Structures are given as C-alpha cells and as structure tokens.
C-alpha cells in the first residue's frame, strides 16, 4: 500500500485537508488487496481461535471502514463529479469484497468451530461477535451451491450500484431546479434570510429578481410560510416529483426503472436464501419477529391515530374555509397553530441561535451522562461550516469525538443524519481506537456572517442526531462490528435519537437553550407554554403519514411478485386508501425520491421509526417518573442501551432498562391521542 495516500494514513482522524478524488480508488484497491492477503493467511492458520481468527478480522474490517468513511461522507456533503466517479467505481469493489468474505466457507467453518470449542470461555461480547458473524454468513449465502452463490454475489453488486444511482438522481434533480421570481409580492411571508439568499443566487446567475433553489430549508419555508398558493404549488410539485418524469425537473433523472430493478433484485436475493420475500429476509436482523407482527403494529397505530387525524383535518379545512390541496396543508397548519397557540416557527428563530442551542444541548448531556465537550481548532475539516469536538469522560479523559456540519448548501445531500467515522475498538492484537461520529444537518445558515437562527423543528433535529451520536460515542464495546450503532437491530437503532428529542420539549431545557440574538433574553414563560402545547398539534395526521410511508415500504417488499413487477403506484394507492386522509394529486411521485428505502438502510424497515418511537417514549417515561436528570435512571440507560451496541438482543436490553417489555401507551399519551374517540 502507498503510505502517502491520506486514506491509508495512521492518524486517528481523516485528513480532510489533503484527501482528493484521485486518492479514492487507488487507496481502496490497495487496502482491499492487502486485506485479502491477510485473510488468506488467517484461513491457513491451524486451530482457529477467537484471538487468531476473530480479532484479526475485526481489525481488517475496522481498517477498511476507517478508510472508506471519509469517502462516503464527502460524497454526501461535498459532492462533485470527480469524487462521484471514484466513489461509484469503488462500490462494486467493496460489495464484491464483502460478499467474498461473507460467502467464504472456510471462514464460516472456522467461526463455527470457535463457537463450538470456546463458548465456555468467551465473554458475552465475544459470543455476540461470533453469533453476529455466523448470522451474517448465513444471510449472505454461505450455504448456497456454486451457481446460486455466484448469482447472489452478482445481485449484491448490482444492488450497491443501483442504490448509489438512486441517490445521485435525487441530488441531481434537486440541484437542477430553480424558480425565478420577478415580483417581490410572490415572496410575501418568507423569512428575510431565504429572500436574501435568493437575491444573492440571482445576482450570481446574472438574473433579475430572485432565484429560489430546491434545497430543503427553502422548500420547507415556502410550504410553511409563502402566502402565494402558486409558489407553494410550484415547490410542492417540484419536490414531490423529484427524480421522476412527472414534474419540472429533467426526466433523465427519473428513478422509476431504478426502483423496479432494486425491488426485483432484493426479492431475488431473499429467495436465493429461501426467504419468501425481502421483508422476511430483513426481519432476520430485527427486533420484530415476523411480517405479520409488523403489519399488525402499523395497522394498530393507524387505528389509534385515525379519530384524531380525521378531526384535525376537519378543523384545518374549517379554519381555511375550503377543501385544501396537498400544498396548502403545511401553510394552513402553521397559520392555525399561530392562531391557536399564538406562536410560529419563524417567530422563534431569534431565540435559537445555534451556539446557544449547542451549549444547552451539551449541558443536557453533561447532566445526564457526566460527559463534557471541547471544540478543537487543530482538526482538518472539509468545509468552513464544519467543526470538531472532543467528548470528555467524567475522569477528564477523551473518550470520543464528533464532527458537526449543520448547514444546507449546494451539492450536499438533503436531510439530517449521523454516520460512523471511526468505530471504537480495543483489540489485544490491533490496539485501540476511540469512537468518532459525523453529525450532519441542513439548517438555514446565518446571513452576513451572523450565527444561524434555528426553528424549534431544527432544534429537535439537532437533539435527534445527537442521540444517534451518543449511541456511537458512549459505547463500551471492544469489538468494532458490534460497537456503537453497529450490530444494533435496525428497528431499535432510533431509540436513543428519539429519546433525546424529548429534552428539546422540556421547559427547563428550553429556558437554557434560548437566548434572543438581540437581547440575550430566554424564551418567555408564556411562549414556552405555548410551544409545549404545539407538541401534540396534528399528531394524528403526522402519525398517519408515517404509517403510510411505513406500510407502503413494507408491503412493497413483502408482496413483490416477479410476474407482476413492483406495482409501486398500485400499492401506494392501496395504502393511501387504507390509512391516508390527506388527498394528494395523481402526479405526486414521492416514492421516486424516497431515499430511506431505496438508497439508505431502511428497505422493509421504515416502520422502525414508529417502532422505536414506542421504545423511546416508554424509555423517557421512566425519566418522567424518576426525574428527567435522575442519575440512577440515566446510568441504567447508559449501561443497558447506550453502551451496549449490538452486544445484546434489543428486546433484552430494553427489558433490562425498563424492567418490562415496551408499551404503546406512553407514546399515545405523548401524542395526545390516547383514549380519544
């Protein structure tokens, strides 16, 4: 390997100041070649043991993840053609490598031998590493015959490329759209920062007037606050038809065939492994045990939410004085919320400057988990918006760190996410590494060099992603494959993130994280009370919307029939007839940009958000009972949830924390829809 390649350097953090597109493919190829050579040596060793087999493989995977993580991260936050080309060139290489390992019969037999011969001497973490690996071997087709194994490998390669193509099409369609405004009246209702940025964009493009992009903050602002119905409709159509042939963005970015191919190949992969469908295959690694259990859960949630949702929509249309189109819902919801609670998201922005929010968030986490944070200026970054923090344990030692990239910008993926930069490891043969996370949001940046001012929705998002980060950074697990978020059942992985959202709704926290940008005053008590009353505002509608997405996703993967194809539009229409009460236009194609299930890790798993929301509400109810900063409860949460990674079954971990199985009632109470007619 070339030691001068920054992806292969020995440093504890990525060298973002010197990583270039030309380093990507050469570095990854060299690393894969070296890993393969090491694996051949490991295979050839007699009498496999945990130390001679499992630990070296953990080290090799950690080394590969450490090199690839900055590449995948840059592809999401600083996308460009040169990087994209190298990134895409590596996807089949990585898929082939991963499949080769997981289909390696010699390694599978060696792991099975370790499980059989050393079970009595391995601790619970070590047993979990071995058991996870054995399951991965089976789910990757290690037991398939030659032809079926080769076909499974080919399917995995193609799926990897298709997922990347889906994401690229969404990003390209988003970036390709702009809306020129000549009359200032059309911008009425939008906040000054959005308008200012639109003016700057127009000047840069040599246009008159204002030029609005389709970045997420602009889209949300238009749908929420633009008084012009025509402007709202234009943005709703552009957003809900991205990467399709039904809207204003170029048809060359249409994801329809990509989606068909993804669903076809997922079904084929599942059937090669003797699962009836991809949904059943996905559940092999989940907390939920069966397809019927998930479907029943979603339908129970819809039944619980429907009375409230029906009432909420009727109230909203009565308030508007007419039947509402899909692009009117958010606007009139915001106006009704303002009238009912005398508060709006835009009005709250001056009280939530980002530095104050972060300082307050850090104090919440310090009170709960006895850790502190320190920003560093000596860490290479990829953009001026980004920053890096150490996380410091109660004994004063650095126990991990995280990068924060908070703002929307061109060529950055929309949405918010946490990802693994460096996984924790403590191997007898490979040394140690501290956990490091990426935390990415898409908030509206401040104007004229001033601090960004967040909406409360943005604040909830920051707390959410930080919960994921804590799950990664507070792990105590030694083995990378099951440390932090790794190895955690996908329908339980949102528990820590949704748990942390609760703190963004606590009065004492709101007093601490708010400071008006001009006066420094915290959010007044009457405004706090009004904001808190909005938490359950239209919770029924929001729940039905999530159930709609979840049921659509799960049915797509559970009901795929090769003779009929994916039936995407047909299944979506059936789901909407069953659970949705908001009418959407025929040309809506939101599935074409549904990256969670077509490009992310949520295929047959979008239900996980609601599933984990039940877990998080029930977990937080333990803090409500004992005190939201109760040390004993917080320590149990760390010991049983945050620190355990994938080393323990998710249900067992929850029961160990809560003392019983999860219940749905705390979530229904939190939403304000419990026991309502």
Give catalytic residues, as residue numbers: 465
Distance, CA of 552 to CA of 575 (rounded, Å): 6
**How is residue 452 annotated by DSSP?**
P
Q: Which two tokens stand for residue 37?
A: 């050579």
- At 387, give phi and psi (nearest 5°): -150, 165
Are 86 and 25 within 8 A, CB to CB?
A: yes
| DSSP string for 336-360 | HHHHHHS--HHHHGGG-BHHHHHHH
Residue 405's region, left for phi above 0, alpha for psi from -120 to 50, else beta, is beta
| DSSP string for 454-500 | --HHHHHHHHHHHHHHHHHHT---SSGGGSTTTT--TTTTTHHHHHH
Give ∠ CA 402-403-407 in degrees, rounded to 5: 140
Are 369 and 474 within 8 A, CB to CB?
A: yes
| Long-range contact set of residues 186-191: C-beta below 8 Å, sequence gap at least 24 | 186/226, 186/228, 186/230, 186/231, 187/226, 187/228, 187/231, 188/226, 188/227, 188/228, 189/225, 189/226, 189/227, 189/228, 190/221, 190/222, 190/225, 190/226, 191/221, 191/225, 191/346, 191/349, 191/444
Distance, CA of 528 to CA of 458 (rounded, Å): 16
Distance, CA of 12 to CA of 215 (rounded, Å): 33
**How is residue 506 annotated by DSSP?**
-
Distance, CA of 651 to CA of 647 (rounded, Å): 12
Distance, CA of 33 to CA of 28 (rounded, Å): 8
In the block, tokens 């006066």 appear at: 519
First to last CA, the chain: 67
Q: Which two tokens stand for residue 383?
A: 């953009």
Half-sphere exposure for 465 (CA within 13 Å, toward CB): 24
4: Cβ contacts below 8 Å, ≥ 6 apart: none
């Amino acid at each position: 390997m070339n030691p001068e390649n920054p992806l292969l350097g020995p440093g504890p953090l990525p060298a973002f100041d010197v990583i270039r597109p030309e380093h990507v493919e050469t570095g990854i190829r060299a690393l894969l070649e070296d890993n393969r050579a090491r694996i051949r040596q490991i295979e050839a060793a007699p009498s496999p043991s945990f130390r001679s087999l499992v630990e070296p493989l953990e080290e090799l995977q950690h080394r590969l993840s450490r090199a690839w993580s900055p590449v995948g991260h840059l592809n999401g936050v600083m996308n460009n053609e040169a990087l994209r080309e190298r990134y895409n060139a590596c996807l089949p290489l990585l898929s082939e490598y991963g499949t080769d390992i997981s289909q390696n019969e010699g390694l599978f037999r060696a792991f099975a031998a370790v499980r059989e011969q050393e079970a009595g001497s391995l601790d619970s973490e070590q047993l979990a590493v071995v058991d996870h690996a054995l399951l991965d071997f089976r789910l990757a087709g290690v037991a398939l015959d030659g032809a079926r194994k080769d076909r499974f490998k080919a399917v995995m390669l193609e799926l990897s490329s298709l997922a990347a193509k889906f994401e690229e099409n969404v990003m390209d369609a988003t970036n390709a759209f702009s809306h020129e405004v000549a009359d200032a009246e059309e911008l009425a209702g939008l906040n000054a920062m959005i308008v200012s940025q639109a003016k700057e964009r127009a000047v840069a493009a040599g246009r008159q007037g204002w030029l609005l992009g389709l970045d997420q903050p602009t889209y949300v602002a238009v749908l929420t606050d633009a008084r012009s119905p025509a402007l709202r409709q234009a943005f709703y159509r552009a957003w809900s038809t991205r990467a399709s042939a039904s809207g204003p963005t170029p048809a060359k970015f249409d994801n329809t065939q990509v989606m068909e191919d993804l669903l076809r190949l997922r079904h084929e992969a599942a059937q090669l492994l003797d699962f009836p469908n991809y949904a059943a295959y996905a559940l092999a690694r989940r907390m939920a045990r069966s397809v019927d259990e998930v479907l029943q859960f979603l339908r129970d949630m819809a039944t619980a939410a429907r009375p409230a949702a029906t009432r909420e929509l009727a109230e909203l249309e009565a308030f508007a004085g007419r039947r509402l189109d899909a692009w009117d819902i958010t606007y009139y919801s915001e106006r009704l919320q303002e009238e009912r609670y005398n508060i709006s998201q835009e009005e709250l922005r001056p009280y939530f400057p980002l530095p104050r929010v972060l300082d307050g968030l850090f104090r919440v986490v310090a009170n709960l988990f006895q850790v502190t944070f320190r920003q560093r200026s000596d860490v290479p970054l990829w953009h001026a918006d980004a920053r890096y923090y150490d996380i410091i344990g109660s004994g004063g030692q650095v126990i991990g760190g995280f990068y924060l990239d908070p703002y929307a910008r061109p060529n950055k993926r929309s949405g918010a996410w946490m990802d693994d930069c460096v996984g924790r490891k403590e191997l007898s043969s490979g040394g140690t590494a501290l956990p490091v996370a990426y935390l990415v949001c898409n908030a509206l940046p401040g104007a004229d060099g001033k601090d960004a001012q967040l909406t409360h929705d943005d604040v909830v998002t920051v707390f959410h992603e930080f919960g994921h980060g804590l799950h990664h950074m507070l792990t105590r697990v030694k083995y990378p494959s099951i440390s932090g978020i790794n190895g955690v059942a996908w329908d339980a992985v949102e528990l820590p993130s949704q748990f942390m959202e609760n703190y963004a709704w606590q009065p004492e926290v709101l007093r601490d994280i708010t400071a008006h940008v001009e006066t420094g005053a915290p959010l007044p008590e009457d405004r706090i009370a009004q904001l808190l009353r909005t938490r359950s505002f239209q919770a029924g509608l929001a729940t039905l919307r999530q159930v709609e997405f979840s049921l659509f996703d799960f049915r797509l993967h559970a009901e795929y029939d090769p003779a009929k194809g994916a039936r995407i539009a047909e299944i979506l229409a059936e789901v909407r007839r069953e659970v949705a009460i908001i009418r959407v236009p025929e040309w809506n194609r939101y599935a074409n940009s549904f990256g969670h299930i077509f490009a992310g890790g949520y295929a047959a798993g979008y239900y996980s958000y609601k599933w984990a929301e039940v877990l998080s509400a029930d977990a937080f109810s333990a803090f409500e009972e004992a005190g939201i900063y109760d040390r004993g409860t917080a320590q149990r949460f760390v010991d049983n949830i945050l620190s355990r990674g994938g080393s323990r079954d998710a249900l067992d971990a929850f029961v160990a924390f809560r003392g019983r199985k999860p219940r749905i009632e705390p979530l229904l109470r939190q939403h304000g829809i419990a026991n309502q007619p």
